[in-house]
Structures are given as structure tokens and as C-alpha cells.
Amino acid sequence: MTEALVIMAKEPRPGLVKTRLVPRLTQEQASAFYAAMLEDVLSQTTKEHTTRSTFVAFHPLTARPWFVARTNPPLRSIPQRGPDLGTRLAKVFDDIAMEGYTRMVVRNSDSPDLPVETLEAAFATLASSDVVLCPDSGGGYGVVGLNRPCPELFTSVEMSTESVLARTLELTRRLGLRASLLDPVPDIDTSEDLDRLVRTITESDPRSRRRIPATVAMLEELGLLDRIA
């Protein structure tokens, strides 16, 4: 296999994940909600990407037992390395490329309703582009694909800001890289994002709802979604 899909994930620990959903949710509820989204993303990856190698890159390093207990081959757990997100992203691409992969796509873990077609398009687009990006709602991106490591894309841009995508695209131009943008990624960071997800689930067909069963069940448990027969 020459294609690898990597999920960037954190241990669902109160105070570590989905803190922008507080105070609408408590820290414990936000952590449980993230755990449900991650469960769906891991399940989708195993079922929908059988023709390529799949990884979950976990953070922090002490989370190894938690992730190892929840992943089975062919999905592999690997650590994120580095003091900040940009460094960790750069090293994930380095680590995967060292194993011989030439089309590498990294996705977030808080977009349970990300269409599989978007990820397929990301891999296909790497046939003619050096960099593939899927914007998110916060000015960054939720999916990034490369044919080879390019640490500058991550270490030379301040991450987790509203200008991440714009500055990354500017950097690709300066580096002479061919960059492509795909459809936006519907990530869940804020209360408004949560409302959007609830509307999407309510309006989608049953097959779409069945694709994210853990997320749907958690929203029902939190009283944010009417139970669906």
C-alpha cells in the first residue's frame, strides 16, 4: 500500500478536549461527547478504508494504553511527538513517510459526519497536487494531505488561529507547491457547531445517522437530540 490515512486524536480527558463547548456542557460531558465522536471516526476508518493503511496518532504520550485498548489491526496506534500541534503534525508526516507511504492524508477526530467521499477526493487529488486542504469553520483545516513531508507547513504557521488556512496557502505559494482546496470539514468546536450537527442529524436520512451511532446516542443522552426510532 502507498496510501495512509491518519487520525489525529487526543485521550478523552476532562479539561483536555472540547473545552470550547463549556459551559454549555460540563467538562465531563464535553469529554464524553468527544469520546463518542472519536469512537465513530475510528469505526468508520476501519470499515471504509480497507484498501489503504490506517493509523490513529494519539496525544499525550501517556494515552498509549487507552488507544491500544481501543484499536485493532489493521488500524495502528502511533504517538504524536512534540511540544505543540504544528510540530506534532510535522512529525506524524515524517513518521508515516519513513514507512514508505507516498500519499498521506491526516484528518481530525471531531468531524464524525465528514463524508467518506471527501477523504477519497483528498487521496485522488494528491495525484496532481502537492498539498490538499479541507477548510474548517474556524479558519483552519480539518484534513491535510501531502505526497511527502513538508515540516514548514506546520512549524512556520501558528496553529489554532483564525488565519491558519490563509497563511498555509500563502506558504505553499512561496514554496512553489501545488495546493488544492476541497469541501469544508464540519468540525465540532463551539456551541454553534454543536447546533449545526444536531440539525444535520435531524435532517439526514437514516443511513447517515447510522454512520455515527455513538455520537447520536451521546447527543440523546445529553438531551440535545430527540430520540430517533
Distance between CA atoms of 221 and 29, rounded to whole angstroms?
10
Q: Convert the pLDDT of each residue in 198-212 to its tens digit.
A: 999 999 878 778 999
Distance between CA atoms of 153 and 92, rounded to whole angstroms?
13
Q: Convert the pLDDT of each residue in 132-162 to its tens digit.
A: 999 998 899 999 999 999 999 999 999 989 9
Architecture of domain 3-187: Alpha-Beta Complex (3.90)
Q: Convert the pLDDT of each residue in 36-92 to its tens digit.
A: 999 999 999 999 999 999 999 999 999 999 999 999 899 999 999 999 999 999 999
Diameter of the chain measured on Cα atoms? 53
pTM score > 0.85 for this model? yes
Distance between CA atoms of 24 and 113, rounded to whole angstroms?
21
* Ranges of each domain in the chain: 3-187
Q: Is the pLDDT of residue 229 over 70?
A: no
Buried b / exposed e along 115-135 (16+ C-beta atoms within 10 A) = eeebbebbbebbeebbbbbbb
